[in-house]
Structure 1
Amino acid sequence: MSKALIPVSHQANAALVKQAKLFAELPQVLLEKMQRDFHVTTWHKGQYISADVLMQQFFVLLEGQVELKKVHPETAREATVDIFYPGDSFDVMVLLDGKPHEVIIAPLNTVRLLNIPIETMRQWIWTYPEVNNQFLPYLAQKMREHEQRATSLVLHDTSTRLSRLILKHIDKINSYKGAPDCEHNQHLVNGLNDETLARMVGSVRQVVNKQLRHWQAQGILEKKRNQLIIKDLQALEQEAHFDTQYGQAQLIK
């Protein structure tokens, strides 16, 4: 049984709504008008969240991380569809086509979200040009991310895929425009155990664990439970074979 999503009694304020990438650049007057339709929801790690809720609500992640994954019905092997960080919105697929999304919703830690009825979000896209102008680039960004992941599975080995994954999520955290204290809490690659990382790069836990221990022996990173501390960002960039540098990413001391 899924646990009911019970919003808090007070309405979300404009500052919370502005943390979503989709709404960050909207005029303040429009934000204050839209905030009345948002509620705040909390999910906990290990809590079962029915995918049916994606047909009813559109979510903006404020704190924590949420993984969407699928499971093979015969082998029980799991694969990550997407992972969301503070500022991200989901589920865009259901928003566009109105069809069920057969995924498992897995909070990787305690998460806090804004949620609105999905029909309200659709109306906003049609009614407000400002919302539509923000939505289309966000949609293009998500499509590019999925394209990059799909091609990486075919073209690159596990070490390249894993290093690119780690760098991508460091970059996601550094580009977060929400509350500064949340950014610092999420700066490290947190909450992603070897099994989760393996799902995200299309590998298995043993292979990922071996690669991480190899990098740890080289002094590239430090591994503490479900936390990765990047000590040599340049070496990790070389492992990823990127043409451009992640110069914005900060080293953890």
Structure 2
Amino acid sequence: MSYLYKWILFLPQVFVFVKSGSCMWSKRKQIKLIASLRGNKLLKDLPQEDLLKLLSEMEEVVWPKHTCNINKDRTFYYFHFLVSGRLKVYQIEQNTGREFTFFLLGNTDAFDILCLLDGYEHNVYYEAIDRVVLLSLPMERMKIWVSNHPGVNKNLLPYMSNQMRILEEYASNVTLVDISTRLARLILSNINKESRELELINDLSNEELANLIGSTRAVVNRHLQEFKNDGIISLGRQKVEIKDIDLLLLKANKNGASAP
């Protein structure tokens, strides 16, 4: 996606508010949304009754694919749980268009945790990689839920700890590790432990992969071709499949990376 085209997508009309309050949803839809909330990393310990109460305070919001949010009011005044789709959290250098991607959020994630905890505006942008469906509620209401439900409060710490580890690993890799190893570690960290399939990044463009490891599209493309020639992966149309995880580990194990 070109820099100019991406900025065209920074428009205020990207949000589609579907419904608000559990009484507005069919029973079947309620069951689906409750299942999604139950799978969220922050809400996994809440009982069914509390999940239903929480859902009654929420609105369903849709972000169309490839749309970007620079309206920080939506992330400062509202807390969001991902129901489906992937969301990129990133920063951009406006003079050059260069990007750095902090995280890719999926359907077990929530945001913005920093706004929830410290009450300050978070200077990042969000882009919908897919069509993204969110369940949102006012930030002040979410703070009350955290205060009144120790289980949610308890889950915040490991969630934040995991995000800090991701950033710490990136800082270490970009300073100490060559790009081939960074790419191998990125792929390895996104392999499902049970299915051994590549998830979350499997269909990203080379440019998006580059933004995750501090590189460029051309360099990432070259290393992916090397991985393919070495029998580590196969490449389809914007799709990466793992062929030999042991060889991938050899690429990534300079500092003791382990198999998923």
Deviation, 1:49, is 2.3
Q: Give deviations 1:13-53, integer Å, cap 9, x for gaps.
A: 43221121111122223222222122222222222323421
**Residue matched to 1:245:** 258
Report the equivalent of 1:6: 17
Pair 1:221–1:194, CA change in 2 (3 A): same
Number of aligned residue pairs: give it. 238
Give TM-score scaled by structure 2 length.
0.83
Decide which of 40, 43, 51 is 1:20's aligned counterpart: 40
The normalised TM-score by structure 1 is: 0.85
Task: Indicate the SS of the match to 1:203.
Answer: coil
Q: Unaligned regions of 5+ residues in structure 2, if any?
A: 1-10, 23-29
Which of 28, 35, 49 is matched with 1:29 structurally? 49
- Residues 19, 62 of structure 1: 8 Å contact kept: no
Cα drift, residue 65 of structure 1: 1.1
* Matched letter for residue 12 of structure 2: S
The question of 1:59 aligning with 2:90 is answered no
SS at match of 1:8: strand
Residue 122 of structure 2 corresponds to residue 110 of structure 1: no
The one-letter amino acid of 1:34's match is L
SS of 1:229's partner is strand
* Corresponding position: 1:209 with 2:221: yes
Match of 2:104 in 1: 83
Q: CA deviation at 1:194?
A: 0.5
The one of 65, 68, 75 aligned to 1:48: 68
Report how far residue 186 of structure 1 moved.
7.8
1:234 corresponds to which letter in structure 2? D
**Identical aligned residues as a percent:** 32
Q: What secondary structure does 2:91 align onto?
A: strand
The alignment status of 1:164 with 2:185, answered yes or no, reads yes
Q: CA deviation at 1:164?
A: 0.9
Match of 1:127 among 148, 155, 178: 148
Q: Is the 8 A contact 1:188 1:227 kept in 2?
A: no
Q: 2:173·2:182 contact (CA, 8 Å) conserved in 1? A: yes
CA 1:118–1:199: 2 relative to 1, 3 Å = same
Aligned to 2:6: none
Deviations 1:157-210 (A, max 9, x none): 101111111111224xx48xxxxxxx9998473331100011110011110000
Q: Is the CA contact (8 Å cut-off) linking 2:185 and 2:257 kept in structure 1? A: no
> CA distance change for structure 1 residues 230 and 107 in 2, over 3 Å: closer, same or farther?
same
What code does the residue aligned with 1:74 have? Answer: N
Structure 1 portions without partners, runs of 5+: 176-182, 248-253
**Paired AA for residue 2 in structure 1:** P
